[in-house]
């Protein structure tokens, strides 16, 4: 389990395709602290560490992961958000994040609000609209954020300077694709209501 509080930004240094899988090598300040079999959120996607060497580690994305996420857009040099699993005695500073991406959203607006930023995203409202609520939690590229505005087929989040500087949200522009994980509590409630109806 994760909390959506990003530890550091990693950089993709190598991409290797093997049949339908893709192996990503990541350079980061926490790579040397990792071990094989460890789960780490990469832009909000829970991936298993398969190799560690010095300040780099490697993970593998299978076809299903590539289909459900924006990992297929990664290139050498791409910056990604990294978070290790929450320890049992850790502080819960964000919200419950599983690392299981629900869908890919597209940035439609990036607004400089003179000291903060607003980002707007469109997403698959047919399946997920019920899961976005004003002032609710949403995970974007692994970042725990609060929904500030909600529209028919879009939502906005407000970004403080610290988050802008210490995550890869600063690299998101209009047209960028991001990984979205909706609040797990909302998903359970929606599923329960659906089964009752």
Which are the contacts of 137, defined by CB distance < 8 A and separation ≥ 6? 4, 94, 95, 144, 145, 146, 147, 183
Active-site residue (options: 8, 11, 13, 39): 39
Active-site residue (options: 32, 63, 73, 171): 63
Active-site residue (options: 29, 32, 76, 146): 146
Cβ neighbourhood burial of 103 (10 Å; 0-12, 13-18, 19+) = middle
User: Active-site residue 63, yes or no?
Assistant: yes
User: Active-site residue 122, yes or no?
Assistant: no
Active-site residue (options: 2, 24, 119, 155): 2
How are beta strands 8-18 and 45-53 bridged, if at all? Answer: unpaired
Closest of 122, 150, 138 to residue 181, by C-alpha: 138
User: Active-site residue 146, yes or no?
Assistant: yes
* 8 Å CB contact between 66 and 154: no
Active-site residue (options: 3, 28, 46, 56): 46
Active-site residue (options: 20, 29, 32, 48): 48
User: Active-site residue 39, yes or no?
Assistant: yes
User: Active-site residue 23, yes or no?
Assistant: no
User: Active-site residue 48, yes or no?
Assistant: yes
User: Active-site residue 76, yes or no?
Assistant: no
Catalytic residues: 2, 39, 46, 48, 63, 100, 146
């Amino acid at each position: 389990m994760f909390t959506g509080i990003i530890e550091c930004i990693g950089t993709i240094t190598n991409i290797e395709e093997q049949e339908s899988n893709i192996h990503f090598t990541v350079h980061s300040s926490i790579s040397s602290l990792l071990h094989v079999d460890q789960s780490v959120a990469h832009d909000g996607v829970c991936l298993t560490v398969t190799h560690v060497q010095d300040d780099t580690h490697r993970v593998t994305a299978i076809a299903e992961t590539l289909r459900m996420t924006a990992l297929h857009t990664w290139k050498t040099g791409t910056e990604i958000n990294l978070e290790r699993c929450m320890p049992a005695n850790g502080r819960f500073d964000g919200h419950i994040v599983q690392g299981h991406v629900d869908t890919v959203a597209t940035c439609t607006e990036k607004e400089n609000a003179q000291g903060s930023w607003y980002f707007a995203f469109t997403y698959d409202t047919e399946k997920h609209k019920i899961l976005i609520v004003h002032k609710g939690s949403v995970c974007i590229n692994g970042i725990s954020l609060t929904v500030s505005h909600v529209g028919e087929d879009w939502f906005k989040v407000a970004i403080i300077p610290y988050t802008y500087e210490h995550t890869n949200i600063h690299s998101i522009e209009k047209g960028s694709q991001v990984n979205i994980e909706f609040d797990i509590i909302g998903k359970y409630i929606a599923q329960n209501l659906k089964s009752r109806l």
